[in-house]
Every structure is written in structure tokens, then in C-alpha cells.
Structure 1
Amino acid sequence: MAAIVYFRKVCETEEHVEYEFGDDPGRFGRRLTVDRGSRSSTVHDALVDHTFLKASQKLNSLYAERGVWPERGMSVS
């Protein structure tokens, strides 16, 4: 079974980056915040599931690769 998650940056401050994410690129239903210092993520609805973990891991991977937080993206496996 394939898993897909889309994400889009909502806002960015010196301390945090906030994203909306979900399995439908036209309708994001959830949000997560990345702490820029620790690069740890928290999900706003407190539901730590595969979709959240996949988005969080992809965001950190892209940041490590590019040195900037992506505006948008997706992860498929």
C-alpha cells in the first residue's frame, strides 16, 4: 500500500516553522510546527501517526539537503 503526504509552509519565524499537511493537496486538514533549533516537530491535534511522522521526516530531510525550509512538498512511499 502506498503512503503519500503533502505539506505547505504556513509561516516561519526565527524559532519555528509551521506547516499544514495531509493526504489531499487541495485540502490540508492538519498542522505541525518544527522547532528550528532542535528540528523536532509537534503536531497541533496531538495525533502522532504515520502521516505526521512522514511529513516531519521529509521536512527535516529536505532542510538537511537544501539548508532552507521548503515552501511545499510531498513524500511518497
Structure 2
Amino acid sequence: MAAIVYFRKIVETAEFAEYEFGDDPDNFVRRMTMDKASCTSAVEDGQVDYTFLKASRKINAVHTERGAWPDRGMSVS
């Protein structure tokens, strides 16, 4: 079974980057915050599930690779 998650940065400060994410890039329904110092994430709705983990891991991977928090992206598996 294939899984896809899209994400888009909506806010970035010196301390954190906030993203909205979900399976429909035209209708994001969830948000997460990435702590820049620790590279950890927290989901706004408290639901730590596969979609959240997939988006969080992809955002961190892109950040590690490029040295900047991505503006948008997706992860497919």
C-alpha cells in the first residue's frame, strides 16, 4: 500500500518552523512545529501517527541535506 504526505511551511522564526501537512495538498488539515535547536517536532492535534511521523522525518531529512528548512515538499513510500 502506498502512502503520501504533503507539507508546506507557514511560519518560520529564529526558534521554530511551523508546517501544515496532510494527504491533500489543496486541503491541509493538520499542523506541526519543528524546534530548530533540537530538530524535534510536535503535532498540534496531539495525534502522533504515521502521517505525522512521515512528514516530520522528511522535513528533517531535507533540512539535514540542504541546511535550510524546506518551504514545501512531499514524501512517498
Please give the range of the TM-score, normalised by the shorter of the 2 chains: over 0.9
Equivalent positions of 1:22-61 (< 5 A) are 22-61=22-61
Uncovered stretches (5+) of structure 1, i.e. residues with no partner? none
Identical columns (%): 65
The answer as to 2:22 corresponding to 1:5 is no
Q: Secondary structure at the match of 1:18?
A: strand
CA deviations 1:34-73 (Å, max 9, x no partner) are 0000000000000000000000000000000000000000
Task: Render the CA deviation track for 1:7-55: whole Å, top value 9, x for unaligned.
Answer: 0000000000000000001100000000000000000000000000000
Q: Which runs of at least 4 in structure 1 moved beyond 4 Å after TM superposition?
A: none
Point out where structure 2 has 5 or more consecutive residues left out of the alignment: none
Alignment TM-score, normalising by the size of structure 2: 0.99
Give the aligned CA root-mean-square deviation in angstroms: 0.3
